[in-house]
Chains A and B, each alone.
Chain A
Amino acid sequence: MSLAFDILLTIGIFFTAAATLGMRDRVGSVVGFVVAGLLVALSWVRLGAPDVALAEAAIGAGLTGALLLRSSGRLKPVERLISPPSHRFIVALIAAAFAGALAWAVYTASGAALYPALVSERLASSGVTNPVTAVLLNFRAWDTLLEIAVLFAALILVRIVAPAVPQPVALGELMLPFARIIVPMCAFLAGHLLWQGASVPGGAFQAGAMLAGGLLVLMLGGFAAPTPRLMSWGAMLALVGLAVFSLAALGAEVLTGTLLLYPDGTAKFWILGIEAALTLSIAAMLCLLFCGVPRRPLK
């Protein structure tokens, strides 16, 4: 029975993605992409990865969809630059052959299960019980630190390129009661996701994305106009994440002699402290990536 559901889901994902990439109208393709993103989040649940499903729905479909909608309104209409049919046919053949070879290669791969044993045997000493959070913030914390540096690099790039800050448009009187319920709900759920991340699916990235959603409702609803003071505070908060994580890594090295090795017994507090700082800074970074960091007057 579940096989039929899997088949239907994958067919849905493939054809939504094909429609998204084939469509002429910009807003239609962006909406198609958000639908495909939500279906993909469902497929992560089917593949037994709830943490990733949360992140995919919040960041992959939600925030990326908002970014795409903002840009689709500002870009010029699609130029007729699709290449001639003969060229397209050859490329389609090559792409199909590549996809077939890829599917065959992944299917016949022996799939040696090396990591599950390593993770389960070390999970007890990692300070958290959720294996994904343990991998993200203890076993491979270095990957996560560099990932926050990626967000930081994107922020500097957006600051230099400085696209126009989206001005909030009057959305009518219903927005205020909606925001009054949704924004506290987002803050509450973000805190809940952050706290439960240590044991059940959740964590800093999903909580940060939820918080960013709440901030965007405030920003676009016109309740928090992007004044220079607010934006500079947001920029400071965004920079805090990478600074806190790097200093914590170096601090751990001072205490225990190895980079990112938390003093034994206190791993849980280190992880939750870093995750709290990351949640706030990721929320600020994602919000600023959407609103564009205005160049503060340098005088």
Chain B
Amino acid sequence: MSDISLLVLLPLLASVGAAATPRASELWGLPATALTAVLALWLTLDVLQDGAREVAIGGWAAPLGIVFVADGLAALMLLMTSGVGIVVAIQATSWGVWPSSAGSEEAASLRAGFWPLWLATLGAMNALFLSGDLFNIYVAFEILGLTAVGLTALSGTRSALRAAFDYLSAGLAGSLMLLLGVALAYSAIGRVDLEAVPMLAETITRRIALALLVTGLAVKAALFPLHFWMPAAHSSAAPVASALLSALVVKGALYVILRISIEGGAGMEAVRFALAIMGAGAMLWGAWGALRATRLKLLVAQSTIAQIGLIALAIGVAGDSLQQNGLWQAAALLMLSHAFAKAAMFIAVGRIAEELGHDRISGLNRKELRPGAAEFAFAIASVSLIGLPPTAGFIGKWLLIDGLIARGAWIWVALILIGTALSAAYLSRVVSRCLRGGPHIAASAHHPAWSTGDITALGLATSALVLGLASALPLTLLEITVK
């Protein structure tokens, strides 16, 4: 029972168990998430020690069979998913851990619904990161799409259900575009595994297939012109669910775009340039949306669009990894830091909304209350999102801008700096209100004791800081990526 196959099948089996026994679903959830994190760590040490590993499933070789590819990039993504997953799972237990706890009927149904969905999401993401076959990636995306919509619809409000419908229909349209790309790739080169991607950049027909693949992935990654389903979905979901959606689920599509861009070779310049343009547009559009947002959750969702734009821009300008200019490592590092910071931010927003009873940005300032732990975690997370030293976001942006300056691409440097300034603007809107005094808006606000929400938000935010200091580890891990 190698760790690779258990990484995917263990969460799926635990999800079946959690669905079968809804009253004790977190007794399945927590141990399975912890065990998967240990397996991911074990795989990473294995990859660090003796390089990338390829496992042919069922013993059938690449073009016909499906191959698990466990290299540096995949291991880093697995660590990211398990790391954020563990902390968010601990936060999810705040809905009452033990089956018999007196929690309300609504909390019990929330709990019974959350755990099977989260474990299936974890299994689907692990399958996505490890898979080396385009059609297999399409099927893993379908699981991810359904469970992410489940997380969105978990809170059951009317806006959440409508956002979930739009999310699922946009996700299905994106997947069908991806399937169209796979069909075209099959008709052009007769095979659909990832090793065939370099061949996809030669003739016109194959470039259309590549463009369709990237379009489908852009819809699923909520990249700028195709992102309209995302803000409603991420802002109307329960805080724990939107933390998972923004931090992890969106990363799956970005990872596949990065993987295709690395292996795509020189022929993909047009697609990469389009990605960079869409990324720049997303940064500006997300910042504009965040500056206008009146509610906290919508602001954080819009900032996700801007950050995805930044990552897409990094992937676009990175070119294939042959040039060893380290730009694509910057994109991977930005994904990692965004995951931790965004999860911390959404959990902090959930705590603030719980504390104040509302999440309007105008009502954040208060007189008697010192800013609680949640506001502090929000501030640290925004530091990492803006990219100030010593956070991991800073290291990512530093690598990116350094590589671009070396190449003399001043337009992109200017765009990234504008994006950074805008992100500083809309995040300081919130942080400054938390620190400012003034009339106390929410009479019902009380200063609750520390709850798991504060601890997990602080934990995630500080891990984004620590990641910056220890960023040598992820970079060495990325060196082992299979070209």
Chain A contacts to B: CB under 8 angstroms: 101-102, 105-106, 108-115, 118-119, 122, 138-143, 146-147, 149-150, 152-157, 159-161, 235-236, 239, 242-243, 246-247, 249-250, 253-254, 256, 258-262, 295-296, 298
Contact = CB atoms under 8 A, between A and B. Distances in A.
Contacts of A118: 63-64
Contact of A259 (B5, B146, B149): B5
Contacts of B204: 105
Contact of A261 (B59, B147, B154): B59
A296 B113 CA distance: 12
A146 B2 contact: no
B2 A298 contact: no
B108 interface: yes
Given A114-B190, A157-B149, A139 B12 contact: no
Contacts of B60: 122, 138-140
Given A105-B184, A149-B124, A296-B22, A138 B13 contact: no
A142 B133 CA distance: 11
Q: Is the interface of A mostly helix, strand, loop or mixed?
A: helix
24 contacts: A102-B180, A102-B184, A106-B183, A109-B188, A110-B188, A111-B190, A142-B136, A150-B142, A152-B19, A153-B124, A153-B146, A156-B120, A159-B19, A159-B113, A160-B153, A161-B153, A246-B13, A247-B13, A249-B9, A253-B1, A259-B2, A260-B57, A298-B22, A298-B23
B55 interface: yes
Interface in B35-65: 55-60, 63-65
B244 to A, nearest CB: 14
Contacts of B1: 250, 253-254
A102 B6 CA distance: 40
B433 interface: no
Interface in B110-138: 112-113, 116-117, 120, 123-124, 127, 135-136
B205 interface: yes
Given A152-B12, A236-B20, A258-B59, 4 more contacts: A138-B58, A142-B136, A149-B12, A150-B139
Nearest to B144: A153
Contacts of B161: 161
A146 B22 CA distance: 23
B189 interface: yes
B109 interface: yes
Given A153-B120, A239-B16, A253-B2, A295 B109 contact: yes
Interface of B: 1-2, 4-6, 9, 12-13, 15-16, 19-20, 22-23, 55-60, 63-66, 68, 105, 108-109, 112-113, 116-117, 120, 123-124, 127, 135-136, 139-140, 142-143, 146-147, 149-150, 153-154, 156, 161, 164, 180, 183-184, 187-191, 204-205, 208-209
Contact of B9 (A109, A115, A246, A261): A246
Contacts of B183: 106
Given A258-B57, A259-B2, A147 B191 contact: no
B188 A260 contact: no
Contact of B58 (A149, A160, A261): A261
A122 B65 CA distance: 11
Contact of B57 (A239, A259, A296): A259
B150 A160 contact: yes
B112 A156 contact: no
A150 B136 CA distance: 12
Given A143-B136, A249-B9, A113 B190 contact: yes
B57 A146 contact: no
Give 7 nearest A-B pairs by CB, closest first.
A112-B190, A114-B190, A153-B146, A260-B58, A109-B187, A259-B5, A261-B59
Given A139-B60, A153-B150, A146 B143 contact: yes
Nearest to B183: A106
A149 B143 CA distance: 7
Contacts of B15: 152, 156
Contacts of B109: 295, 298
A298 B112 contact: yes
Contacts of B140: 146
B89 to A, nearest CB: 17
B136 A146 contact: yes
A141 B209 CA distance: 25
Contacts of A253: 1-2, 5
Name, among A113, A138, A161, A249, the residue most crowded by chain B CB atoms within 10 Å (CB to CB): A161
A298 B102 CA distance: 12
A154 B168 CA distance: 11
A115 B147 CA distance: 33
A242 B143 CA distance: 13
A259 B53 CA distance: 14
Nearest to B113: A160
A138 B66 CA distance: 11
B147 A243 contact: no
A91 B60 CA distance: 45
B16 A242 contact: yes
A123 to B, nearest CB: 11
Given A157-B146, A157-B153, A106 B13 contact: no
A259 B55 contact: yes
Contact of B5 (A139, A161, A249, A256): A249
Nearest to B13: A246
B116 to A, nearest CB: 5
A73 B146 CA distance: 24
A163 B2 CA distance: 41
A97 to B, nearest CB: 13
Contacts of A146: 124, 127, 136, 139-140, 143
Contact of B187 (A106, A140, A141): A106
B357 to A, nearest CB: 26
Contacts of B4: 259
A102 B176 CA distance: 14
A28 B350 CA distance: 46
B105 A156 contact: no
Contacts of A249: 5, 9
B97 to A, nearest CB: 15
Contacts of B153: 157, 160-161
A239 B12 CA distance: 11
A258 B55 contact: yes
Contacts of A243: 13, 16
Nearest to B136: A143
A292 to B, nearest CB: 14
A114 B191 contact: yes
A235 B183 CA distance: 35
A113 B19 CA distance: 43
Nearest to A137: B58
A198 B164 CA distance: 40
A258 B135 contact: no
Contacts of A101: 208
